[in-house]
Amino acid sequence: MKFLLCLLLTSAGVECWHPDEERVMNLRLSNLGLQGPVPSDIARQVPYLAYLNLSNNSFSGEIPVDISAITYLNVLNIQHNQLSGQIPGQLGVLARLTVFNVSDNLLSGPIPWSLQKFPASNFAGNQGLCGVPLDECHGKRNWGMTTVLLHRINIESSIGAVVGFVAGFVVAVYCTASPYRLHRSDFRA
């Protein structure tokens, strides 16, 4: 039965790892008029995926960060859709990723450093997308400053937490020791 299911799915663009297993290895779902968001839990649904092609559809919303958990992924082609927002930097953990194409979407923001190895044509057609290998980001300093400010806030918060903990500890020790000292001085008199 599993063999028949895999055979039927293959004609629809889905390939199984092996006819006797239910592991989906390839999803070729381009030019099908699919709409809506890409499932946010896609890694849970197809964890062994090596090839994902959702190009030439009408997918909208953001690129799910969860895609970064599909560790076997070699090809991610989501060009010619209506995807928006920034490209998740977490996609850089996909060590096997050799093809990455997000061209002709509505993406914006800087291209993550780990994905800058792919050609400019794979990012083209996204009005708000910038950085290597495309044009320099307008207000590039703003993108960097946001990161620096967040880092600085985290450091300041950490220092504040440590100082607060130490101060609280000193007060607790003092309060605990003070009644002991009072009782001790009562016995001396």
- Residue-wise pLDDT tens digits, 128-147: 999 999 988 876 545 544 44
Q: 126 vs 80, 104, 118, 137, 142, CA distance in Å?
A: 10, 6, 15, 13, 20
d(CA 15, CA 9): 7
Residue 8 sits at the vertex; the CA angle it makes with 12 and 15, to the nearest 5 degrees, is: 65
Instruction: Give the pLDDT band (50/70/90) at residue 173.
Output: low
d(CA 21, CA 76): 23
More confident residue, 183 or 152: 183
Q: Residues with Cβ < 8 Å from 187, sequence gap 6 or more?
A: none
Helix (H), strand (E) at residue 187: helix 140-188
DSSP category for residue 54:
-
pLDDT of 187 reads 57
| DSSP secondary structure of 59-99 | EEEPPPGGGGG-TT--EEE--SSEEEEPPPGGGGG-TT--E
Is the confidence at residue 171, as pLDDT, over 70? Answer: no
Average pLDDT, the chain: 78
Structure-token pair, residue 141: 């300093």
Instruction: Give the pLDDT band (50/70/90) at residue 24.
Output: confident
Instruction: Give the pLDDT band (50/70/90) at residue 9.
Output: very low
Structure-token pair, residue 10: 């293959």
Is the confidence at residue 105, as pLDDT, over 90? Answer: yes
pLDDT of 137 reads 87
Structure-token pair, residue 176: 């605990």
Is the confidence at residue 89, as pLDDT, over 80? Answer: yes
* Spatial contact of 108 and 86, defined as CB atoms under 8 Å apart: yes
